[in-house]
Amino acid sequence: MQKKSKNPLSGIKRSKILYPIIIGLGVVGYMLYKNFDIKSFEIVNFTKETFFWLFVAILLMITRDVGYIIRLKILTNNKLSWRKAFNIIMLWEFTSAITPSAIGGTSVAILYVNKEGLSVGKSAAVVMATSFLDELYFIILFPLLFVVINPHDLFSIGGDFSITNAFLLFALIGYGIKFIYTAVLSYGLFKNPRGLKWILLWIFKFPIIRKWRYGANKAGTDIIKSSKELKNKPFSFWLKAFGATFISWTSRYWVVNALFLAFFVVKGNFLLFARQLVMWIMMLVSPTPGGSGFTEYVFSKYLTDFLPLPELAVVMALLWRLVTYYPYLIIGVIIVPRWIKKHFANN
């Protein structure tokens, strides 16, 4: 008898959904309490342009998700319907929203894809490919930022910049983690998957991380299965998949530009875009679910130079999270019960 799959969402309690909301709103509330000034809102006016740019911000988030869905269809050779691809992306984003940024939803995404009709091997290949493409976006674009933008402009806040700049250190640590992960994943997927599995199992022999050795063994097996699926893919396949990836991530970063333009005149739109990319790399070091709290704090400090008054940064951070983060929690609450009932009701 075939072993039944364990429901990956069975351990999710209501508190896990509430934690990121409480943490994020708690940090925003504290910063509002410390910095709130009613006079700063006198310069905020709601005009036709405000509603236009708010609509653009929402449209960019939709474009971001459509890009993910298109990529998923490309990676599965159109074996998934639009509805199934949508469900997988929403489940994936929901899981990412309630887990620490460094973990994300990738750990259970293989089962999401598998339950929508693909074999375990193909599912592992699809998830590993999406992870590879996501990291490749950052690996390529982050160094390019230093070519087109002065590091002083990219990391200085109020003219303060040095090699010990906290934002620079967070970004370099996050980029280092991404670079190592991408290098290891590339080696495993395209060169020596069995060798990578052996290295993973050897590393997870150490007492501190030994309890995760089973997960490392499973990850190694997934990489071996993925390698067989991905090695012989043509360049055009990767070009189309990366194009969808580029559209998705780039759309996400332009959301803040649209939100700022809804209320203020923005000087240096490309620099604002670049800082968001850097900020996302910083989020990798956040231990909180979905980067809650840490993200709002970094947003209010790191992007404050683009606002007419620093006091408005906290409110804009909250608005940004309302558009880009909290909707996935709400959508997840709607989709998850139905999806579980459909795929695990008889398990």
pLDDT, tens digit (0-9, with 9 covering 90-100), for 297-343: 777 777 888 877 767 777 787 788 888 887 887 787 788 778 777 77
Instruction: Decide which of 309 and 82 is more confident.
Output: 82
Q: Which of 6, 16, 10 is nearest to 97 (CA)?
A: 16
Max intra-chain CA distance, the chain: 69
Amino acid in the structure at residue 104: G
Looking from the CA of 45 toward its CB, the CA atoms found within 13 Å total 6
pTM equals 0.78
Determine, yes or no, domain membership for 166.
yes
Residues of the domain holding 250: 103-287+295-314
Distance CA 201, CA 244 (A): 34
Tell me, yes or no, whether 68 lies in a domain. Answer: no
Question: Do residues 286 and 266 lie in contact, with contact meaning Cβ atoms separated by under 8 Å?
Answer: no
Flag whether 249 is in a domain. Answer: yes
Q: Count Cβ atoms within 10 A of the Cβ of residue 137 and give its class: 0-12 exposed, 13-18 middle, 19 or more buried.
A: middle
Backbone φ and ψ for 162, nearest 5 degrees, come out as -155, 175
* Average pLDDT of span 220-238: 81
* 29 belongs to a structural domain: no
156 domain-assigned: yes
Q: What does the pLDDT read at residue 1?
A: 41
Both ends of the chain: CA-CA distance in Å?
Answer: 13
Q: Number of folded domains in the chain?
A: 1
Give the model's pLDDT for residue 12.
Answer: 52
